[in-house]
Structures are given as structure tokens and as C-alpha cells.
Amino acid sequence: MTGERDLIDELSRIFGLPPPQVVCGIGDDAAVIAGQGGEYLLWTVDALIEKVHFDLTYMPLRQLGRKALAVNLSDIAAMGGKPRYALLALGWPPERDLFGALELARGMQEVAQETGVTVIGGDTVSSPGSLSMSLTVLGQVKKEELLRRDGAQIGELIYLTGPVGLAAAGLETLRRGLTLTETERTLLLQAFFDPQPQILAARVLARNHLATALIDLSDGVASDLFQICRRSNVGAVVESTLIPVPAPVAEVAAQIGKDPLELALKGGEDYLLLFTSPPDREKALYLHFSEAGLGTPICIGKIVRGNRVWLRRPEATQDISGMGFDHFRLKEL
Amino acid sequence: MTGERDLIDELSRIFGLPPPQVVCGIGDDAAVIAGQGGEYLLWTVDALIEKVHFDLTYMPLRQLGRKALAVNLSDIAAMGGKPRYALLALGWPPERDLFGALELARGMQEVAQETGVTVIGGDTVSSPGSLSMSLTVLGQVKKEELLRRDGAQIGELIYLTGPVGLAAAGLETLRRGLTLTETERTLLLQAFFDPQPQILAARVLARNHLATALIDLSDGVASDLFQICRRSNVGAVVESTLIPVPAPVAEVAAQIGKDPLELALKGGEDYLLLFTSPPDREKALYLHFSEAGLGTPICIGKIVRGNRVWLRRPEATQDISGMGFDHFRLKEL
């Protein structure tokens, strides 16, 4: 085993084939269980650990609460569904003021109210050393509106619901204390602290059958598009000139001596949607997004034969399959 | 805030009143959501953290996997329900061999197969320092068979489904390296390592409407009975002479210089059922347990007026309300 993917494959083997009412198990954004009356239950769980997923030296606890829930709702959105309920298990360091736990809960409740989700409750335990939490969210989707990672077809177009790299640039700004204009700084930090789960955009895609494969951008385009390719048995070509890299991302990249495209494609934590759609649905796609008051989706490339993700730049074409944040690429076994 | 209870009360206030389809939120063993056709969904989440909930120096990873799932299934049993699905979020220390994660999964899968539960999948992340995991379990129960903590009535009898203190004595044996006979040692370690979720016993109680309040013993009789009393607005008297304290528990208590009753009532981790039942159901209770091949429930006391839990000993009566493991009684705010 050399990475998170291999570990997940091994775990699938141990847990075996699920019964038929489990429509989708390990390997998508959420587990899917067939319910009654053509409704599917969507179910996710996520562990967030201090110093791995967040750093409390620059992340206020209320923001952490907001983000923790938003990220989980994003997983439900990525299946085309509506999030409904959340349960929280909180591991709180005994030396940390308990009022901080209430701040965290307040942030979570803000996002819950914004998205029509009910935080039902959970479990609180003492956690020496670092703050950890796990959130589990239940959502629902009609059987015929379920969106998965595995439906991409050769010839289809690849879209993003917004510009990428803002969250990663925000994190770099915090980490390195970069100097930016106030407007740039606000934009980047907001993207990093307060991702907006794309529930409406995903519902528009699902309801109108506009997407064939969908994932939310947690690890970055390179890594997440590779997941769609793996699951769909296809390859992808991304055009460097089509990637929406906002000016503040380019500015941060320049300051830290990085390629802006790398920051945009590998940064992660954007929590936008990445999806594929047949070319003949392009008009309908733009129309439905516009009618819903959503920004126009941005086409960044095409699904092709093969099993790799290619970035076509003016100077050369580069294999970017799976470049991103793989939690276990730390040692070989 | 001075303890876990206060924290939970504050959190309930922040998250507000749930919608009517949430039958039971914070404060019972599992959240209860009304589904279609008179079925209720039962939902739990639990965080387990190294050095708080388990110690890998004496807990093999396969046993940890078994116990982690068993403990969560016990929460579903405590609502009278059938556990169906589990999702795991695992925080794995990067310096620890990943094969250990597979051992943990294997242990979990053993218990899943023994209980008819499907482990669907989950999330794996790197966790520097300590191993942490969170498990979420979904179960179901018919509306009319739901068992809660809040139904105990004055005059009802209090029962246990087995002898208590074995798990706590097992932990002391490991921690202090006590010398016992091989039979005693095996019995105690098995109770500590491998709790058996009382799914069948709980189903017998639920199906036959034999219990008015039910909780699973995670923190110990003193603490868990106090939860029933708090929720039901009643008090309880426990008779010291009726507490089933097995000989090996008394042996361990003697070796460590503790009162055997204290070990039995405050030790925790027994994961048996503690429930209340009207006196006129006693015959039916014994009959249904016997027909199901279960051991006879053990009556340990009576529900009384008031709001405290009393232990009546030959020499004196003692208030034992809530004595047990409260994760946050560590500092005052």
C-alpha cells in the first residue's frame, strides 16, 4: 500500500460486497442507501483533526464550525442531494476553554440555518493534545436524480462552477503572512475560511439531468478530476488557457514563487463543483444556471479515451493525474 | 459549565428546537428521525480517541475494531432498534504501520457479520500523534417499539441484563498487571475487550413492551441510572445486596484495595442493558427472556420519588447520583 487509494481498496475488500440496498458504498462522496418510495438516503462521515485539517492559530473556532459543516454538506451536494440532518462528535482538549466549543457550535448552527439543515446533536469527549471532530450528515435525493463520479463519457465537456485556487491562496496568505491589498486579502481569506457548499448548483444539475459525473473540489482539480476518470474509465484533457485563475491567486503565486496554475489545480479546498456534461446539453446548462441566478459554468476541457488527466499548456502537455493532497503518501509499506 | 451535561445543555440551546420529524435529539443514546411507514431511523455517532478511550499498549487493533463497532451497536440496541449500517472515519498516525488499519477493519467486520450489520465505508485521514476514529451507525425501529431514557415511573423495578464490573476489573487487571487464575483473567479480559451488544435482549424488551426506560451501561450503573432519573424526573433506590458482583470482580477489588461495589457500579464499559419495568410485567419479562434463550434479568432496585440515585447498604444509604466517568469534570469555567 502506498497511498490513501490503496488503503481504501484494501478496506473495501475486508468489508466485502454490500447488500443491494447499498447503491453506492466506498469510493464516492457519500454512501447511498435505497429507501422507500424511490428516495435515496445520502450519508457521509468526516473526521477533522487539528494540525491536519485546520490550524487554530489562524482559524477562529466559529469559522471552524462553519467550515466543518459546509465541507460535509458539500459531499451531499456532490451526489445531487439535499442535506437534511447533522450529528457532531467533538473531541475537546481538556486544557482548552469550553466556551470555545460553544463558539464552534454557533458557527455550525449559522451554516445549518443558511442551508436548511438540522444539527441534531452528538457526542462530546475529552481529547488530550488536539481538537478533533467528526461530523456525519444525512441527506436525500430522488433515485433518478442521483449523481455519481462514474458516469463521464468520452467526448463530454468538463466544467467548474467557479474560479479555482482562492482557498489555497488564502491559506498561503495566512501561513506566510503575505502582503496584499485589503480587497485581495478579504477575497482569499473568505474563500479559505468560508467555503459555500454548492447545494443549489448541484440540485440544478441533478433536477435537469445536466451532469453525467460530479465531484466536489476538496483536493484540487488535478486530483478530483482523476477520481472521476478512475471511476468512469476515461481520461481527460484540461486546457491551461481555460482554467479560471483569479488575479489574487496569480499574485500569491508570484509572491511565493509558484506556478499560478499549480496553485489553482492542486491547491484544494475550493468546494466548488467539477462535473462532466454532454456537448449537446451546453445550451440547456447555461440556461438553467442563469434561470437559477447562478454564475455561468466554466468549461475547462474534455473527456477523452485513456485513464490519465492531461494539462495542455502552450509549451507542452503534462500528466497531472492525481496530483494533490493524498493523506497517506507518506511512506511505503 | 462544570461538566459534560452542562456542555450538552448549552449545545442544545445553540442548535435550537429540532423540527417535529426529529423525535429525539440530544440527550438519548441515539437520535431518532421519523421515516416513512411508521419506521424510525436511529442514528449515532461516536468519537474514540487513543489514550482517552483506548490504550494501544494493551489493546490489539483487531480487538479495538471489534469493540468500537460493538459499542456503537449498543447505542442502537438501547433504543430498542436493529442496527443496519456503519460508516467509519479513521484518523491514522502516519508513523504507524497501515497494516494495523486493516487489522482494525477486520475486527470491525467480524462484529458486523455477527450482528447483521453492513460497514459501508468511510473516510481515512492522517492523524499525527494519536489514533482517532469516529463511527456512525444507522438503525431502525418501529415507532411503537422505540425505547427511551425518559419513561421510568415511580414504583417500577430496575433491572440489569447481567453481572456488572467485569470490564472495569479487566481494565484494572491490564493496567496494573494483577495476578489472577487463568479462568478469572480470561473472563475479565473478554468482558473488557469484547463487549457483546445486547441487541437481542433489547429487541425482546421492545417487541413485547416490557421496558419503560432503557439505557446501555457505558459509564456505570450509578451514572447511567442517574441519566434515566434525570430524563424521567424520578429517583431510584438500588439495593447493595441485589447488585450482581461476580467473584473475579471482588478479587480484583481486594487486590487494588477498592470497594467491590464501587468497581461494579462506577466502573463502566459493561455495555449491558439497564432498564425499568412495571412490577406487574415481571412474570412476562422472565418468560420472554427465557423463551429467547436469554439469561434472567436481575432486579437491583426500585424507582422512587425524587431526583437522586441512592445506594442502600446494610450500614447506611448513600447518594451515588452520577458518580462515574464524566469527560469534562476536569475544570470549572
pLDDT in tens, A255-284: 999 999 999 999 889 999 999 999 999 999
Nearest to B328 among A98, A133, A331 (CB): A98
pLDDT by residue for chain B (333 residues), tens digit each?
Answer: 556 667 778 888 899 888 889 988 766 778 999 987 789 999 999 878 887 778 898 889 999 999 999 999 999 999 999 999 999 988 888 889 889 999 999 999 999 999 999 999 766 777 777 888 889 999 999 999 999 999 999 999 999 999 999 999 999 999 999 999 999 999 999 999 999 999 999 999 999 999 999 999 998 999 999 999 999 999 999 999 999 999 999 999 999 999 999 999 998 899 999 999 999 999 999 999 999 999 999 999 999 999 999 999 998 999 999 765 443 332 222
Cα-Cα-Cα-Cα dihedral of A214, A219, A225, A231, to 10°? -70
In this complex, which of A41, A45, A125 lies closest to B49 when CB atoms are compared? A125
Across the interface, which of A36, A46, A124 has its CB nearest the CB of B4? Answer: A124
Q: Is the pLDDT of residue A1 over 60?
A: no
Q: Which of B100, B83, B79 is nearest to B91 (CA)?
A: B100
Higher pLDDT, A96 or B294: B294
Q: Do B109 and A16 touch (CB under 8 A)?
A: yes
A186: pLDDT strictly greater than 70: yes
Give rounded-to-5 percent helix, strand, coil for chain B. 40, 25, 35
Distances (CA, A) of B62 to A129, B194, B301: 25, 10, 37
Measured CA to CA, the distance from residue A228 to residue A246 in angstroms comes to 25
Q: Which residues of B touch A122 (CB under 8 A)?
A: 11, 26, 45
Give, to the nearest 10 degrees, the angle between helix B182-193 and helix B166-176. Answer: 110
Say whether pLDDT at A329 is over 60: no
**In this prediction, what percent of chain A has a pLDDT beyond 70?**
94
How many DSSP H helices and E strands does chain B contain? 10, 13
Count the neighbouring beta carbons within 10 Å of the beta carbon of residue B221.
32
A35 three-class SS = coil
Interface contact A134-B130, CB threshold 8 A: no
| The three cell numbers locating residue A296 | 455561468
| Of the candidates B133, B63, B131, the residue with the CA atom closest to the CA atom of residue B97 | B131
pLDDT at B102: 93
Confidence of residue A333 (pLDDT cuts 50, 70, 90): very low
The owner of cell 444507522 is: B138
Q: Does the distance separating the beta carbons of A31 and B36 come in below 8 Å?
A: no
Instruction: Give chain A's mean pLDDT.
Output: 91
B67 closest CA partner among B218, B173, B203, B184: B218
Q: How many CB pairs below 8 Å do chains A and B form together?
A: 226
Distance CA A262, CA A282 (A): 28
Query: What distance in Å separates the CA atoms of residue A89 and residue B125, rounded to the nearest whole number?
Result: 16
Chain A contact set for B37 (CB, 8 A): 36
Q: Which residues pair with B273 in a beta bridge?
A: B216
CB B97 within 8 A of CB B241: no
CB atoms B45 and A124 under 8 Å? no
CB atoms inside a 10 Å sphere around CB A314: 7
Contact B47 A123 (CB under 8 A): yes
Q: Inter-chain contact A87–B44, Cβ cutoff 8 Å?
A: yes
CB contact under 8 A, A328 and B126: yes
- By C-alpha distance, the chain A residue nearest B12 is A121
Looking at the DSSP assignment, which residues form a beta bridge with residue B43? Answer: B31, B138
> What secondary structure, in 3-state letters, does A132-154 show?
EEEEEEEEEEEHHHCCCCCCCCC
Is the pLDDT higher at A21 or at B324? A21
For residue A271, give the DSSP letter: -
* Residues of chain A neighbouring B51 (CB-CB closer than 8 A): 128
Q: Decide if B35 and A31 are in contact by the 8 Å CB cutoff.
A: no
Query: Distance between CA B101 and CA B98 in Å, rounded?
Result: 5
Does A129 show up as a binding residue in the annotation? no
φ, ψ for residue A137, nearest 5 deg: -125, 140
> Complex ipTM above 0.90?
no
B295, with CB counted inside 10 A (0-12, 13-18, 19+), is exposed
Q: Is B99 annotated as a binding residue?
A: no
Amino acid in position B159: Y
- Those residues whose C-beta lies under 8 Å from the C-beta of residue B172, and which sit 6 or more positions away, are B178, B252, B256, B263
Query: Among candidates A20, A24, A31, which has minimal Cα distance to B123?
Result: A31
pLDDT for the residue A150:
92
The set of cell numbers assigned to A11 is 478496506
Rounded Cα–Cα distance for residues A91 and B3 (Å)? 14
Nearest-CA distance A52 → chain B (Å): 7
Residues of A in Cβ contact (< 8 Å) with B16: 109
| pLDDT above 50: residue A314 | yes
Best mutation site among A82, A95, A127, A329 for testing chain B: the one with the most B CBs within 10 Å? A127
Question: How would residue A331 be classed by pLDDT, with cut points 50, 70 and 90?
Answer: very low
Contact between B45 and A109 using a beta-carbon 8 Å cutoff: no
Predicted confidence at residue A326, as pLDDT, reads: 43
**The three three-digit cell numbers of residue A304, written as one number:** 477523452
A129-143: average pLDDT: 90
A134 has which bridge partners? A47, A89
Q: Is B323 helix (H, G, I), strand (E, B) or coil?
A: coil
Work out the minimum CA distance from B171 to partner chain A, whole angstroms: 19
In A261-308, the DSSP E strands lie at 273-277, 298-304
State how far the Cα of A276 lies from the Cα of B263, in Å rounded to an integer.
Answer: 61
Query: What is the C-alpha to C-alpha distance for residues A283 and B56, in angstroms, rounded to an integer?
Result: 58
Calpha distance A269→A300 (Å, rounded): 18
Q: Which of A13-27, A107-121, A172-186, A196-210 comes out lowest in average pLDDT? A: A13-27
Q: Which domains does chain A have, with CATH numbers?
A: 4-145 (3.30.1330.10), 157-319 (3.90.650.10)
Instruction: Kindly identify which residue of chain B lies nearest to residue A26, measuring between CA atoms.
Output: B121
Averaged pLDDT, A22-45:
86
- C-alpha A161/C-alpha B34 separation (Å) is 35
Which pLDDT does position B287 carry in this prediction?
98
Residues across chain A: 333
Spatial separation of the C-alpha atoms in residues A24 and B162, rounded to whole Å: 39
**Nearest-angstrom CA–CA distance, A73 and A271:** 10
Q: Is B149 annotated as a binding residue?
A: yes
